[in-house]
Amino acid sequence: MTAELLVEKRAGEQSIVLEKRAVLLAPSTVAGPKESRGPLAGSFDRCYDDLVLKEKSFERAECHMLEEVCYLAIGKAGLVPNQIDYYLGGDLLNQIISASFCARKLAIPFFGLYGACSTLAESLCLAGMMIEGGFARNILVAVSSHNCSAERQYRYPTEYGFQRPGYAQWTITGAGAAVIGVSGDGPRLESLTPGKVVDADIKDPYDMGSAMAPAAADTIYTHLNDLQRDPSYYDLIITGDLGGVGKKLNEAILERNGVRIAANYTDCGLLIYYPQQQVDAGASGCACSALGFFGYYYPLMLKKEIRRILLVATGALHSPTTFLQGESIPAIAHAVSLEI
Amino acid sequence: MSAEKFKEGKGVLIDQNWFQSWHKLKQPRPPLVKNILVAFFAGGIVCLLGQFILNIYISLGVPVEQAGNPTVATVIFLAALLTGFGVFDNIARLAGAGLAVPVTGFANSVTSMAIEFRREGLVLGTGSKMFALAGSIIVFGVVTAFVVGLISALI
């Protein structure tokens, strides 16, 4: 086999075009109390009205949500756990414990991924490649985040009182899962652009929108460039959780590079809550892109109101240790193009 | 890619000067005047409450020069209680420095850590993490008191 043949599915610098059918099926979402009072309340499969879910810790509660949403997705796809070939996923906590503990219960071969809030797109990218390579028939992708477990790991204890800056974002309590299969009704994964790690020298851990926007801009720009597409090729370009500040910055960076996306561009971080819910710049967390895309845009795709979507989930790859030591925040964004 | 290379990377090109000035200009800034006013009045209310409690202790027969201690303890107790009920963080979000600077902020930082780490056990959780936030207040408080004491002894 020549080298030419090996790389025939690659496009441009870093993109991949999928030729086989990798279909996104059975998207499922569960959401916590604050999200259940937001504008998307009606589109979640299950809403919880307390934060601990009768478990003994926030970490257990997050794992509980993740298990729940995995079983929901597998059930919706008409499968049982041992028909799933691989489980890809992650979360925000140290050692991605929610995903690993959930995998312990599911007993499916598991790849734990960490891409902070970009984990959903990272999982989708790898699932697409696995299906394309013929290594699997059904892959479960699942992500979760919990406001309190993330808050206590990254910032302050949950009951600690302080003033949040206006550009801070609110970590979502929720989880999302879907099955990537080879057949069925649903949007297919059409092309992927795994992103590079980009560091724009932002040091404030509350300012994640500004830290992640350059990564999102870089991935969107590279994706469009690699596949020789105009932003208008997509009915909608969705970023994961840039929030109000990051969304504007992303638009501005792309505009300076000659790409105008404002007309068909939206951010999941601005979808989940009402402005009066006091979340400042918007939502964030692994579950943000999952709740926004699976909950709101997937049904629109099934109705064929939207046919082409570019999902770009972004993640800030810092830790509480690195920011205390004065390091800047590196960020990453992965893009997945879906078509129906 | 490091911040340096980012300027000349293969993907998008970002002019760092433009980026910094955009960031400075468009970043939402804290409403300084509002925050100061709210903190002033919130802090004032806490002090008023303290005075009220102090007067009660005095009327109960505690000598005036000793009534301060039970007053501080009572305010700490109230702040800890509000923290336990999950109300303090909501008030402090609005009041800012008005609640953080008085002893209420100290009480909140200790209690919130104690609650947060209770699930890791009484000894290695609550016991060892309780003063993780408040520890620096104690350390620098003692150091400052020592330095000020030293100066006043020398003068």
Nearest alpha carbon to residue B74 among B57, B62, B60: B57
Task: Specify the pLDDT at position B1.
Answer: 40
Task: Specify the pLDDT at position A286.
Answer: 93
pLDDT average, residue stretch B24-38: 89
pLDDT average, residue stretch A168-195: 94
d(CA B11, CA A258): 12
In a domain, B21, yes or no: no
Q: Is the pLDDT of residue A305 over 60?
A: yes
Task: Specify the pLDDT at position B10.
Answer: 66
Residue pLDDT, tens place only, B46-86:
999 999 999 999 999 999 999 999 999 999 999 999 999 99
The answer, for A62 touching chain B at a CB cutoff of 8 Å, is no
The answer, for A224 touching chain B at a CB cutoff of 8 Å, is no
What DSSP string describes A193-225?
A: EPPPPEE-----TT-HHHHHHHHHHHHHHHHHH
Own/partner pairs, B15-21, CB within 8 angstroms, 24+ separation? B15/A256, B16/A201, B18/A256, B19/A200, B19/A214, B19/A253
Q: Which residues of B72-98 are buried (b: 16+ CB within 10 A; e: fewer)?
A: bebbbebbbebbeeeebbebbeebbbb
CB B109, CB B133: distance < 8 Å: yes
The count of structural domains within chain B is 1
In a domain, B13, yes or no: no
Residue pLDDT, tens place only, A211-229:
999 999 999 999 999 999 9
pLDDT above 90 coverage of chain A, percent: 86
What tokens were used for A266? Answer: 């939206």
Residue B41's domain comprises 32-154
- The DSSP secondary-structure symbol of A232 reads G
More confident residue, B3 or A161: A161
Task: Specify the pLDDT at position A4.
Answer: 58
In a domain, B25, yes or no: no
Measured between beta carbons, the chain A residues lying within 8 angstroms of B15 are 256
Question: Which member of A156, A166, A222 has the closest CB to residue B11?
Answer: A222
pLDDT band at A162 (very low <50, low <70, confident <90, very high): confident
Residue pLDDT, tens place only, B79-129:
999 999 999 999 999 999 999 999 999 999 999 999 999 999 999 999 999
Residue pLDDT, tens place only, A99-131:
999 999 999 999 999 999 999 999 999 999 999
Catalogue all structural domains in chain A, each as residue range(s) with its CATH number: 20-181 (3.40.47.40), 188-339 (3.40.47.40)
pLDDT average, residue stretch A280-284: 91
Interface test with chain A among B13, B15, B20, B27, by most A beta carbons within 10 Å:
B27
Task: Specify the pLDDT at position A116.
Answer: 93
